[in-house]
Amino acid sequence: MFPQKPQLNRFIQPLTHLTCFSCNTENSRPFKDGDYVFKEVEEKCPKCGSTKMLITGIYIEERQLKERER
Ligand SMILES: [Zn+2]
């Protein structure tokens, strides 16, 4: 059997938004397997260096299909 995903061949890169527990700085990074909203993750805060952050949202950025004319 060759299961085919219908029309999911576009590159979709979800973004995970994180909030630092210490300073409430918001940060985002590419989605990782196992991420879910309100999960505590070990992620280094770019501002205060804390390694405890909370996932506050996961967004899917769908790249629009814009064909460039050559
Ligand atoms: Zn911080």
Assign 3-class secondary structure to 19-33.
EECCCCCEEEEECCC
Rounded distance from Cα 17 to ligand 1 centre (Å) = 13
Q: What is the pLDDT of residues 24-70, one digit of tens each?
A: 999 999 999 999 999 999 999 999 999 999 999 999 876 655 666 66
Q: Answer yes or no: is 34 within a domain.
A: yes
Question: What is the domain-level CATH number for residue 36?
Answer: 2.20.28
Q: Answer yes or no: is 33 within a domain.
A: yes
Q: Answer yes or no: is 41 within a domain.
A: yes
Query: Confidence class of residue 20 from pLDDT cuts 50, 70 and 90?
Result: very high
Q: Answer yes or no: is 1 within a domain.
A: no
Q: Answer yes or no: is 22 within a domain.
A: yes
How many domains are there within the chain? Answer: 1
Rounded distance from Cα 57 to ligand 1 centre (Å) = 17
* pLDDT surpassing 70 at residue 14: yes
Domain of 26, in residue numbers: 12-62
Rounded distance from Cα 26 to ligand 1 centre (Å) = 8
Rounded distance from Cα 59 to ligand 1 centre (Å) = 21
